[in-house]
Structure 1
């Protein structure tokens, strides 16, 4: 590959050496255009996305890289660059040295960063100081590949892409830190659901089974929707309705009697009855499911859903209390760069004084 010319004074940036399928630029989403048929997009796991941004002091809507199971490898160019990452249990390495699953780091020019999927989870997020400075479209940098909108030319990221940071590269006055946040530790608790608005379209026994039985995520799962296998959910009033707007987490059931949960790249409207909606506080946990994983669902009220969301947002806003100093591995290079002496003494003078 031909080396690219780096200009003095240009912003610090990441150059991608490798990017697997499903890796995109995302911000909080393209709000206000659903009425015109424009999908919001945005992060699959908003909790991890916001955690990475707030760990850097970014605005919560700053653009970050959403990394799928395809992984990513990048190199820092032009100047020092503060980054933070959070999400699933992925393997992160700086210049080959293993890192914690979530952290804030300072990359120096020439430092490489490698991300590979780990034991659990489907998505992780890489933020940079100030966010990535890609071209906004309809007020958002979020990538929606089906409409070729946002991000970098409306597509998935790939080898050779140059991603500048919006903020100038600097050493900064912050420190490298591990992010140890409870909301990033995914539990097996049931995914909470508020029933409606068309739960009356389903057979009561089938509706009860939805909340009593386990369902398995199928390989038919992407940024648009997650399809689950399990007990059939029978309709009592047919499975066609007049198309209406659909929200994040809507649980549609078509003629195949299988639940389909709509995710970040969902369509603006749909014509199948919706038995309920996954609450926003649990969207991140749901998004981190991998095909083959089993999930249970629990019915909650709108009051419970709102209380859970406010509590989670308060926790994430207090990210500073969930960060601890990051200790780098004691390599020979690091030891040579570090002052390991806290004082000295003259042996002859010490003996003469006795």
Structure 2
């Protein structure tokens, strides 16, 4: 079996694709990539469709050993480098595909510039889909590798035992990582559960992402919001980006692993175009909110898709990495010749 072996797991890496949005009516959370834009770019770099499952991680990535003839990978979501142990230590840039061979190891430099990063693999992983997705949802132990975060000693089976020899690709324009500005929010569905003063404060105050942030949601620190009609409602549907406000008045932004229903009032929802940027944020980062209507949110999503397609169309050839150790191991001379045989 061709695989990638986990030598060191890092910080709770999981396999994530676009998730399972069609099964919320059965109580199954969507899960999926926190930053689907970076996932799409990484998959394009290695020649995959955009939604092929990749290794998603935060802060510290895994160290993996190649147990296949060859494998092509790309790191996205961060400007941190990819480190290859191939007889010598080679440091390679993110947003560039690279082909590795059996016995080589790869790891990622510490990630300080982003809350999430992706290691995409050509062909993806040969694992069973659950509810039409490979995404890991750890609370129910479904999807991914045995329904959990990767651990030391795991061997992730690959769909490809060997990748085609071809030129590598890179993306030079990483400006999308520098996107700034308020998180745009559509008010509702329980805006009427909050005082007008609280709604105004919500749009004019700075909030900080607390340490209580994971794939399920981000708890925010800042001005508490005042409920006008209590803080318990009949449980209703939850979407990614919904902003619940429990009894303490501090907002919680719900992310990919959010529950399908909830009983706290929701003052608003972060629009889908801002979800990838939100997914890249990390504890200690600050954010502001800005109100937008539904029509504006739809236009923002269309504009984002145009920008993503522009990025995918801008992939360019990358300078080849010469694995000198592997080169010297090859038998480059098939025989000997005598004087006069050349020419």
TM-score of the pair, normalised by structure 2: 0.88
1:32 alignment partner in structure 2: 22
- Root-mean-square deviation (CA), in Å? 2.2
User: How many residues were matched structurally?
Assistant: 326
2:193 alignment partner in structure 1: 201
- Kindly report structure 1 stretches of 4+ aligned residues shifted beyond 4 Å: 328-337
Give 1:147 deviation, angstroms.
0.5
**CA 1:325–1:210 in 2, change beyond 3 Å: closer, same or farther?**
same
Which stretch shifts more, 193-202 or 49-58? 49-58
Give 1:272 deviation, angstroms.
0.9
1:352 alignment partner in structure 2: none
Deviations 1:8-50 (A, max 9, x none): xx44x31111112320011111232211211111111111112
1:302 alignment partner in structure 2: 294
Matches of 2:327 and 2:316, distance apart in 1: 21
Gaps of 5+ in 2: 330-343
Matches of 1:289 and 1:193, distance apart in 2: 17
Instruction: Give runs of aligned pairs for residues 284-299 of structure 1, distance below 5 A.
Output: 284-299=276-291
Confirm or deny: 8 A CA contact 2:135 2:143 kept in the other structure: yes
Gaps of 5+ in 1: 1-9, 338-354
1:78 alignment partner in structure 2: 68
Deviations 1:166-188 (A, max 9, x none): 23422333x22322344642333
2:338 alignment partner in structure 1: none
Matches of 1:322 and 1:22, distance apart in 2: 32
1:94 alignment partner in structure 2: 84
Matches of 1:196 and 1:148, distance apart in 2: 32
Give 1:89 deviation, angstroms.
3.3
Aligned with 2:44 (options 25, 39, 54): 54
Aligned with 1:131 (options 110, 117, 124): 124
Say whether 1:158 aligns with 2:129: no
Matches of 2:22 and 2:323, distance apart in 1: 51
Confirm or deny: 8 A CA contact 2:79 2:93 kept in the other structure: no
Deviations 1:203-225 (A, max 9, x none): 11111111111100100100111
1:170 alignment partner in structure 2: 163
Matches of 1:331 and 1:128, distance apart in 2: 19
Confirm or deny: 8 A CA contact 2:34 2:279 kept in the other structure: yes
SS in 1 for 2:227: coil
Which stretch shifts more, 230-239 or 265-274? 230-239
Confirm or deny: 8 A CA contact 2:184 2:270 kept in the other structure: yes
Which stretch shifts more, 217-226 or 19-28? 19-28
Say whether 1:140 aligns with 2:133: yes
Matches of 1:133 and 1:285, distance apart in 2: 30
Which stretch shifts more, 141-150 or 106-115? 106-115
**CA 1:80–1:135 in 2, change beyond 3 Å: closer, same or farther?**
same
Give 1:333 deviation, angstroms.
5.7
Matches of 2:328 and 2:22, distance apart in 1: 54
